[in-house]
Amino acid sequence: MPSVNRAAKSGPAKGKERIEAPINSRSETMLSPEFSAETAAQLMRSRTTEQALHDDVFVDQWVQSKLKRARIHSLFIPISEVKNWHFDPATGNITHDSGRFFTVMGLQVRHRCGSEEVVWDQPVLDQPEIGILGIAAKECDGVLHFCLRAKEEPGNINAVQLSPTVQATYSNYSRVHGGAPPPFIELFLDPPRDRVLFAKLQTEDGGRFLFKSNRNMIVRVGSNEMAKLPDDFIWLTLRQISALMRRDNMINSCARSVLCCLL
């Protein structure tokens, strides 16, 4: 197993503490209850039935419209010109002025391979927060549907990919950036136990993130909740999601990491 060659890397970077999502003790005890026979039957029906709130033609047209209407445009600029980020000459790290979000830092790694040892240096992202990757689930006409979002992100191929209902770090939904909180974040902060289909901590890409994890969640909502979605959200069955997963660059890695517990 690879090992970090610095004792200081056994925990957060100096001056930082790992920030947990503010989910109370009641929610902590409810994580990942086993599916009941009824829930298992609902999941199987969602995975196999042709019945859906939106037919497949509508879904395809909706996806294509989001891809064509992408509004994000990225331009490479020097790190020195990135607003609110700075290079720390003492540590060599790149950090946000608020001390939040993440830090780009250097790492030396030793990997034992039998009788040999491979050593390399690399940058790593230190993000001392536990984010939320949450998907809302709801019965529509007797079939379980899941809410995904056509999300624009600067590093996306095609600019737009389908993401979880909520994909947010603690800094994002606590509004460190000064913007609005993510839509529907309240559904995942303190859900009643009987509404939780799945909730577990899952590790981020350990080759690029330092000790980073997210809380992956699937939470049911009532029949009268989320009745009218914003234009970039859509209800889909598991069969429809599974079909979209077979397309290149369509379902983002965050959504796949949550949905894998069902598919």
> Per residue of the chain (263 residues), what is the pLDDT tens digit?
444 544 344 444 444 555 555 444 334 434 344 678 899 999 999 999 999 999 999 999 999 999 998 888 889 999 889 999 999 999 999 999 988 889 999 999 999 988 899 999 999 999 988 999 999 999 999 999 999 999 999 999 989 999 999 999 888 888 776 778 899 999 999 999 999 999 999 998 889 999 999 999 999 999 899 999 999 999 999 999 999 999 999 999 999 999 998 86
- Whole-number pLDDT of residue 18: 56
Residue 198 identity: F
Question: Looking at the chain, how many residues does it have?
Answer: 263
C-beta of residue 257 within 8 angstroms of C-beta of residue 237: no
> In angstroms, what CA-CA distances link 208 with 47, 88, 138?
33, 20, 34
C-beta of residue 208 within 8 angstroms of C-beta of residue 125: yes
- What is the DSSP-derived secondary structure letter of residue 99? S
CA distance linking residue 165 with residue 82, whole number of Å: 29
Domain boundaries, the chain: 18-75+127-259, 79-126
- Whole-number pLDDT of residue 34: 62
Of 120, 131, 105, residue with least CA distance to 210: 105
pTM of the model: 0.84
Handedness of CA 213, 215, 218, 221 (dihedral sign): negative
Q: What is the CA radius of gyration of the chain?
A: 20
> Can you tell me whether residue 172 is helix, strand or coil?
helix
Residue 175 Ramachandran class (φ > 0 left, ψ -120 to 50 alpha, else beta): left
Find tokens 């974040």 and name the residue: 185
Number of CB atoms found within 10 A of residue 30's CB: 16
If residue 163 lies in a helix (H) or strand (E), which one and from where to where? strand 160-163
If residue 259 lies in a helix (H) or strand (E), which one and from where to where? helix 253-259
C-beta of residue 135 within 8 angstroms of C-beta of residue 164: yes
Architecture of domain 18-75+127-259: Alpha-Beta Complex (3.90)
Of 196, 189, 240, 245, residue with least CA distance to 218: 196
- Whole-number pLDDT of residue 6: 41
CA angle in degrees (0–180, nearest 5) for 262-139-151: 65
Tokens of 225: 């909740």
CA distance linking residue 45 with residue 222, whole number of Å: 19
- Whole-number pLDDT of residue 195: 95
Find tokens 């234009």 and name the residue: 231
